[in-house]
Amino acid sequence: MKRLLVLALLVAFVPSAHAAGCSPLNCSPSQFLFAHGTLLGVRVSVDKPLRVIDLRTGATRWRLPAGIVSGNTLVSQSPGLVTWFDAATGARLRAVPLQLHGTFQLVGASQDATRAVLARTQSRSTTFAILGRHSQCLVKLGGRNWQFDALNGQNLFLIQTLRNGYEVRLYDLAANTLQKQPLKDQEKAALIQGIPVQRVSSPSGRYLFTLYIDGNGNAMVHELDTAAGYAYCIDLAGTGDFNSAMTWAIVPSHNGSRLWAVSVGYGRIAEIDVAAHVVAEHARFYSIPWTANAGVAALAPDSKSLVVSDAQHLWFVSLQTFKVRRGPNHVAIAVAFSPDATRVYGVGQRSRVFSLRVNG
């Protein structure tokens, strides 16, 4: 809970600030599902080790070093080495020596987790190194205002920080060329403003969803199609309350066709049609009391319900009726359903694992 509370307090004091773009290192989630939803990966922050919990028993299975998570794979950097781990088994898959001049820092991985991305920022340039099992290539750009965003095939997506916000740029690795125009929704400007607070990927890795909020309490989901190279902005309901906006949580459906967004602060549910890039259904609910922390949500294995937490309270959302049931008050920095959907496991105070019956 401490990490969530600190995040909420920091952002609450700077609602008009333009934060850095949403890279895997500063906006990635701290909970992950592995092995077809039978394992839950949890970390206190992005620079801390990953703890993997068995969702059938609640027992901790193994711990992995800090790194970038993509699918069932964790990519980690140590001095002179980049190592790939199978998060679903805890096994070390392979290691590739770093043969780079200068100091490079791991900043991301490709959507299929086969390649690692490292970056070196200097006073007048930024260099990205893309490292595979048997390959390595460098991309050098002028300026120090570049961050890694995503990598799918030959599509390298970057965040370019500007004076009043940031833009998503596409670099074609096959042509070794940066596209002249930033990616944008046809209906909206290319410049993104606001604070990125959550980032999740579709199960296939094709889509990346980033949740942005601004100082006025507005929220939107930035949908990046990493295969086709397109971006879309999807506005969420609610405005005027920054603390309420902080509680939005997003979670993709198991088949990747839907993205669910829930805000206990605003008392709203949105079902986003990923292919159409629109809110297909929405509903309101009564959620008092709630706490202004970053929201976290998990989808049941049967896709019929969600569990949502604001780090201090729990709610169960029926995706068939959009009805919401209050669960018990409970500290939770991570939540997930058991494989049979009868229980919810979570990580609470002092990193202790707890278990609750769904219909209890």
Instruction: Give tens-digit pLDDT for 168-218.
Output: 999 999 999 999 999 988 778 888 888 888 999 999 999 999 999 999 999
Q: For residue 293, is it within any domain?
A: no
Q: For residue 158, is it within any domain?
A: yes
Whether the predicted pLDDT of 130 surpasses 60: yes
Whether the predicted pLDDT of 151 surpasses 90: yes
Q: For residue 80, is it within any domain?
A: yes
pLDDT of residue 195: 87
Q: For residue 5, is it within any domain?
A: no
C-alpha 265/C-alpha 308 separation (Å) is 12
User: Looking at 5-19, 27-41, 155-169, 293-307, which range is the least confident one?
Assistant: 5-19
pLDDT of residue 194: 85
Q: For residue 322, is it within any domain?
A: no
CB 248 within 8 A of CB 199: no
pLDDT of residue 5: 38
Q: For residue 347, is it within any domain?
A: no
* 27 vs 300, more confident: 300
- Give the up-direction half-sphere exposure of residue 173: CA atoms within 13 A in the CB hemisphere: 17
Q: Which residue do the tokens 């105070």 mark?
A: 349
DSSP, residue by residue, 173-193: TTTTEE-SSPB--TTS-S-B-
Q: For residue 352, is it within any domain?
A: no
pLDDT of residue 22: 58
CATH number at residue 154: 2.40.10.480
Instruction: Using alpha carbons, list the distances in angstroms from residue 264 to 10, 296, 301, 308, 327.
Output: 20, 10, 22, 8, 13
Instruction: Give tens-digit pLDDT for 298-349.
Output: 999 999 999 999 999 999 999 999 999 999 999 999 999 999 999 999 999 8
**Which of these, 355, 257, 351, lies nearest to 307 by C-alpha position?**
355
Task: State the average pLDDT for the chain.
Answer: 90
Q: Which residue do the tokens 């604001």 mark?
A: 310
C-alpha 197/C-alpha 296 separation (Å) is 11
- Containing domain of residue 82, as a range? 21-190
Nearest 5°: phi and psi at 216? -90, 5
Q: For residue 351, is it within any domain?
A: no
The tally of domains found in the chain comes to 1
Total residue length of the chain: 360
